[in-house]
Amino acid sequence: MIEYYNYIKSLHLIFVITWFAGLFYIPRLFVYHIEAAQKSEPEKTILTDQFKLMTKRLWYIITWPSAILTTIFAVWLLFLIPSWLQQDWMLVKLGFVVLLFAYHFKSHLIFKEMQKDIIKWTSTQMRIWNEGSTLVLFAVIFLVIVRDAINWIYGVLGIFVLAIMLMLGIRLYKKIRSRKPNA
């Protein structure tokens, strides 16, 4: 079965990419939905109905299936190479995968609320939420590529620096946007 390793790994990576595409885009649609809910009628209803449809299709046709298929192919890879489970980098990666699933499930709860027009987040909060999956992606990619050669202290500091830069970028964007009349 090891001869199928590259095919299984390729499928795993393809579905990781489509899963992240969904996780990157769904909060963006949430931002648009939140901002549409603040508009006057009939624009409010037209836009929120469209965003509900778009998020529903994205979530159930792309994001959830991709998460499930990513997991299936990941488990298959671990079945083929069980020694990975004894390596520190894989254990840390699996910790980040748990965080990613927590992010996914919380996004699912937000999705369910927004489908019912329950809006508990501001658009700025949702923009910040949107960066959660980005941080996990950076951590996992560097961890998998660099593996044992990574200096954990620098790696953790790098993630914090990235998070700070993302937050500053969001604040700058909000400041620029507030100065434009039709932003």
Identify the CA nearest to 129 among candidates 142, 117, 115, 114: 114
12 is in an annotated binding site: yes
Residue type, 94: L
93 is in an annotated binding site: yes
Task: Identify whether the C-beta of residue 136 lies closer than 8 Å to the C-beta of residue 103.
Answer: yes
- Residue 77 burial (C-beta neighbours within 10 Å; 0-12, 13-18, 19+): middle
Tokens of 160: 């914090």
The DSSP code for 147 is G
Tokens of 110: 């937000």
Residue set of the binding site:
12, 93
Residue set of the binding site for heme:
12, 93
